C-alpha cells in the first residue's frame, strides 16, 4: 500500500512544481495586494496616529465613513435574503425565461459601474420611470442615501446568488422528503435542515457583497447626490481630498476604511468557521 501511494505521488502533475507555483503565487500576490496595502500602512505610520485621529474626528469624515459602512451592511443583509430566494428559485424551479433571468444575475459583473450608476439615476430620478411612481408616495430615491442602497444592492446581489446557487443544487431533495415524513413543517425543515447546510455559503456571499459595497464608487456617485454629511460616501471623500492635495487626509480615511473592513471580514470569517464546525459535526 505504501509503495502504491508513493508511485501515485510520483506521477507527473499537469501543473508546475510546488516551488515554482508557490513562488509565482506569492510574487503576484505581493505585487497586487501586499505591497499596495503595505505602502498605505507605511504612509499612515509616517503621518502618525495623532494626525490620523484628528482627520477622522472631523464631522464630514465621520459622517462619510458611517454612511458607507451602514448602507453597505444594509445592502448586504438585503442581498443575503433576496439572493438566497433567487438562487433557490433558479435551481429548484423550471419556468419560462429562467435561463434569461439566470444570465441577468451576472449583468452587474459585466456592466461598467459608471453605466450602472447612470442607468439607476435615470430610472429613479424624480422624472424617471420609477421615480415618477414613487414621488406621489413621498419616496425619493435618487440623490439620497436610499439611492446609495439601491446601487449597492445592484452590484452586490450576484455575489450572494453565485455563491449559494451551487450549494442549493447539491442539496438532495430526499433530505427534505425525509424531514417531511417525520412530521416537520416546511418552515421547520428549512430552518433546521436546509439553512444549516447553506450557512457557510451565505456567510461567504454576505462577506463578498459587504466588501464590494464598502469600496463601491462608480455606480454610487451618480445616484448619491454627494451632499456632505448627507449622501457623501467615504471613497468619494478620498478622491476629493486627493484633488485638494490633502494627501494626509486621504490616507487617514483609507487607513480607517482598511481597518474597519478587516475587522468586519475577520468577524464574518470567524463566524463562518464556527458554523462549519458546528453544523459539520452535526
0.95 exceeded by pTM = no
Ordered per-residue pLDDT tens for the chain, 282 residues: 455 555 454 556 665 667 777 788 888 888 888 888 888 889 888 888 888 889 888 999 999 999 999 999 999 999 999 999 999 999 988 989 999 999 999 999 888 888 999 999 999 998 999 999 998 898 999 999 999 999 999 999 999 999 999 999 888 777 776 776 776 677 777 777 788 888 889 998 999 999 999 989 988 999 998 888 899 999 999 999 999 999 999 999 999 999 988 888 888 888 878 777 776 555
Instruction: Kindly state the cell numbers that stand for 281.
Output: 459535526
Best CA proximity match to 218, nearest among 73, 117, 71, 75: 117
pLDDT score, position 43: 87
pLDDT score, position 175: 72
- In whole angstroms, what is the distance from residue 12 CA to residue 83 CA? 42
pLDDT score, position 270: 84
| Domain residue ranges in the chain | 49-281
Residue 160 CB contacts under 8 Å (≥ 6 apart), including other chains: 79, 80, 82, 83, 84, 87, 202, 205, 206, 208, 209
Residue 263 CB contacts under 8 Å (≥ 6 apart), including other chains: none
Contact 213, 152 (CB under 8 A): yes
pLDDT score, position 39: 87
pLDDT score, position 165: 94
CATH 1.10.540.10 applies to domain 49-281: no
- In whole angstroms, what is the distance from residue 19 CA to residue 236 CA? 42
pLDDT score, position 147: 94
Best CA proximity match to 60, nearest among 233, 274, 265, 252: 233
Amino acid at each position: 500500500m505504501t509503495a502504491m501511494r508513493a508511485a501515485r505521488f510520483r506521477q507527473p502533475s499537469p501543473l508546475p512544481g510546488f516551488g515554482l507555483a508557490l513562488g509565482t503565487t506569492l510574487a503576484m500576490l505581493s505585487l497586487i495586494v501586499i505591497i499596495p496595502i503595505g505602502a498605505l500602512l507605511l504612509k499612515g505610520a509616517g503621518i502618525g496616529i495623532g494626525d490620523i485621529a484628528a482627520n477622522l474626528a472631523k464631522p464630514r469624515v465621520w459622517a462619510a465613513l458611517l454612511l458607507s459602512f451602514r448602507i453597505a451592511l444594509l445592502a448586504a443583509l438585503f442581498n443575503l435574503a433576496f439572493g438566497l430566494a433567487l438562487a433557490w428559485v433558479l435551481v429548484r424551479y423550471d419556468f419560462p425565461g429562467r435561463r434569461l433571468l439566470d444570465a441577468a444575475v451576472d449583468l452587474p459583473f459585466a456592466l461598467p459601474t459608471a453605466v450602472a450608476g447612470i442607468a439607476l439615476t435615470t430610472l429613479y430620478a424624480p422624472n424617471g420611470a420609477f421615480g415618477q411612481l414613487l414621488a406621489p408616495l413621498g419616496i425619493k430615491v435618487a440623490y439620497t442615501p436610499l439611492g446609495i442602497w439601491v446601487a449597492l444592492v445592484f452590484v452586490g446581489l450576484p455575489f450572494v446568488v453565485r455563491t449559494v446557487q451551487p450549494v442549493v443544487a447539491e442539496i438532495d431533495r430526499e433530505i427534505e422528503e425525509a424531514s417531511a415524513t417525520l412530521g416537520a413543517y416546511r418552515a421547520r425543515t428549512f430552518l433546521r435542515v436546509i439553512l444549516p447546510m447553506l450557512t457557510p455559503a451565505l456567510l461567504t456571499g454576505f462577506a463578498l457583497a459587504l466588501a464590494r459595497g464598502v469600496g463601491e464608487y462608480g455606480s454610487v456617485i451618480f445616484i448619491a447626490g454627494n451632499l456632505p454629511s448627507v449622501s457623501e460616501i467615504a471613497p468619494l471623500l478620498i478622491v476629493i481630498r486627493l484633488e485638494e492635495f490633502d494627501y494626509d487626509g486621504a490616507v487617514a480615511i483609507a487607513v480607517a476604511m482598511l481597518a474597519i473592513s478587516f475587522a468586519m471580514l475577520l468577524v464574518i470569517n470567524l463566524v463562518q468557521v464556527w458554523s462549519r464546525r458546528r453544523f459539520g459535526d452535526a
